[in-house]
Amino acid sequence: MTSGGYRAVDLIGRKRDGGELDAEALRWLVDGYLARRVTEGQMAALLMAGVLNGFTDAEARALTDALRHSGETLDLSELDGPVIDKHSTGGVGDDTTLIVSPLLAAAGAQVVKLSGRGLGHTGGTLDKLESIPGFRVDLSPDELRAVAADTGCVVAAQSERLVPGDRAIYALRDVTGTVGSRALIASSVMSKKLAGGADTIVLDVKCGDGAFMTTPEDARALAELCVEIGVEAGRRCTALVTAMDQPLGRSVGNALAVAGCVEAMSAPPSGRLAELALDLACHGLALARGGHPDATREELTRLWRDGAALERLAAMVAAQGGDPSVCDRPREVLAAAPVTREVSARDGGVVAAVPARGIGELAAGLGAGRTHEDDEVDPAVGLELRVEIGDRIERGAPLAVVHARTDAAADRAADELRRLVRVGPDDVPAPPTVLGRRADPR
């Protein structure tokens, strides 16, 4: 198909042969795919050619711009405080958004976070929030701004008019095996962040078994590219590279994740999930204000300890139609699975592996996740882990609690969990959570 002097087949051939596409050609492809002048087969062929031969950083920047301008952008200029957006590249037990957003709001920032749903082994923030009775994620731009102005934070679904090019191409990438490309991930992430309107962006780039980027080198390169794209667009931007070889938090599911976050925020920061959430909030607030992250840690820790962050979460839940008493009585308000099963260790020793991908797939198989985009999720089911890598345990000690719909499902999950969690005789050091930082170079 031809238009504007281009033919899709010629551009596909250029990438197949290792060539580079300029910004005008990439804009034509994105617009043409949305207008159906470029077919699904042609876009799939182009993506595969680019993944096999490599997209350049220049192509990543140009594609970001094309996707960003494929629809509307969100105007947040009327909001008073520094406007911060936080994004994770996905993982298992990664519930930091539910903590970072109200924590930053308690510090006087305004957080506007457009989130997604879970797919495959990764959990989705929207699915977790929708486990709260009445919680609405489909908000208009005016509603987004109003909730942010009133409560300091809002977490909602991406509008169909915001970055439609990314939504269409991502759906195709998901079914054609072209997700794991640094350039494509960077353009997808940053087009949404830039269209979302925040002036400060803090990124959590995952690395390991449960992440798109499996090596620290690839994760650092992705973080650096994302930060460069953000800075070139005039935004303050920083990124942490963090480990996803084991689940970040101990609650893997939807209602379980919400309960876990509320309980974490009801006590002083403790554990890997809490510490990473605090780190992300420190970096975001320091970048927005100017200064070093260490200078914000005491303030944010105090806001956590005195309950101000939990109050902001309750205010956001109420503003988005949910039951704010979830922040007082989470286990009573949230749906509970009819079957719970404690899983005990068959051998004593040191926990050597709690594989994030396997745990995520196990929770999804119970109904907490989805295989296809239109699958329904069960808010009540999932896993509550009792161990992490490096823990020394006795035979018969609890490994996890399974929350399931049926006894048969609970039994299958228990057997699989014992297979996944590896316990050995040798000491294993607890691995670090934060592996590095790629800072705004300004």
Question: Domain holding 49: CATH number?
Answer: 1.20.970.10
> Residue 419 corresponds to which tokens in the numbers above?
């297979």
Spatial distance between the Cα atoms of 81 and 86, rounded to a whole number of angstroms: 16
pLDDT tens digits, 153-191:
999 988 888 999 998 998 888 788 888 899 999 999 999
Is residue 67 in some structural domain? no
Do 339 and 399 lie in one domain? The reply is yes
Q: Tokens 């806001």 identify what position?
A: 303
Spatial distance between the Cα atoms of 244 and 222, rounded to a whole number of angstroms: 15
Annotated catalytic residue: which of 145, 182, 192, 283? 192
Number of domains in the chain: 3
Stretch 267-293: mean pLDDT, rounded? 95
**Do residues 134 and 321 make contact, with C-beta atoms less than 8 angstroms apart?**
yes
Amino acid at 81: G
Do 355 and 316 lie in one domain? The reply is no
In this predicted structure, what is the pLDDT of residue 160?
A: 85
Q: How far is CA 273 from CA 84, 129, 212, in A?
A: 20, 17, 20
pLDDT tens digits, 325-359:
999 999 999 999 999 999 999 999 999 999 999 99
Domain boundary among 306, 330, 354: 330
Q: Tokens 């102005």 identify what position?
A: 149
In this predicted structure, what is the pLDDT of residue 3?
A: 55
Is residue 431 in some structural domain? no
Annotated catalytic residue: which of 88, 131, 187, 188? 188
Do 231 and 292 lie in one domain? The reply is yes
Is residue 65 in some structural domain? no
Is residue 298 in some structural domain? yes
Residue-by-residue DSSP string for 330-388:
HHHHS---SEEEEEE-SS-EEEEE--HHHHHHHHIIIIIS-SSTT----SS-EEEE---
Do 21 and 167 lie in one domain? The reply is no
Is 166 labeled as catalytic in the residue annotation?
yes
> Residue 323 corresponds to which tokens in the numbers above?
């039951």
Instruction: Tell me which residue range forms the domain holding 31.
Output: 2-54
Element (H, E) at 398: strand 398-404
Say what percent of the chain tops pLDDT 70: 96
Is 173 labeled as catalytic in the residue annotation?
yes
Do 322 and 214 lie in one domain? The reply is yes
CATH label of the domain that carries residue 359:
3.90.1170.30
In this predicted structure, what is the pLDDT of residue 1?
A: 45
Do 265 and 390 lie in one domain? The reply is no
Name the pLDDT band for 384 (thresholds 50, 70, 90): very high
260-296 b/e with 16+ CB inside 10 Å = b? bbbebbeeebebbbbebbbbbbbbbbbbbeeeebeeb
Annotated catalytic residue: which of 27, 61, 87, 403? 87
Is residue 396 packed enough to be buried (19+ CB in 10 Å), middle (13-18) or exposed (0-12)? Answer: exposed
Domain boundary among 285, 303, 330: 330
Stretch 366-381: mean pLDDT, rounded? 84
Is 193 labeled as catalytic in the residue annotation?
no
Do 117 and 174 lie in one domain? The reply is yes
Do 302 and 339 lie in one domain? The reply is no
Amino acid at 228: E
Nearest partner of 326 among 310, 309, 307, 339, judged by Cα = 310
Is residue 66 in some structural domain? no
Is 87 labeled as catalytic in the residue annotation?
yes
Average pLDDT, rounded, for the chain? 93
Element (H, E) at 118: none
Stretch 313-326: mean pLDDT, rounded? 98
Longest dimension (CA), the chain: 70
**Do residues 156 and 163 make contact, with C-beta atoms less than 8 angstroms apart?**
no
Spatial distance between the Cα atoms of 310 and 194, rounded to a whole number of angstroms: 28
Do 339 and 323 lie in one domain? The reply is no
Is residue 39 in some structural domain? yes
Q: How far is CA 143 from CA 115, 156, 180, 198, 261, in A?
A: 16, 10, 34, 16, 25
Q: Are strands 6-7 and 2-3 parallel, antiparallel or unpaired?
A: antiparallel
pLDDT tens digits, 415-425:
999 999 999 99
Is residue 72 in some structural domain? no
Annotated catalytic residue: which of 65, 85, 94, 166? 166
Spatial distance between the Cα atoms of 227 and 236, rounded to a whole number of angstroms: 9
Is residue 74 in some structural domain? no
Number of H helices, E strands in the chain: 17, 15
> Residue 378 corresponds to which tokens in the numbers above?
């069960």
> Residue 58 corresponds to which tokens in the numbers above?
């220049």
Amino acid at 107: A
pTM: 0.93
Q: Is the predicted pLDDT of residue 392 greater than 60, yes or no?
A: yes
Do 305 and 171 lie in one domain? The reply is yes
Do 271 and 128 lie in one domain? The reply is yes
φ, ψ of residue 59 in degrees (nearest 5): -65, -35
Nearest 5°: CA angle at 93, between 293 and 146? 65
Is 121 labeled as catalytic in the residue annotation?
no
Annotated catalytic residue: which of 173, 193, 283, 312? 173
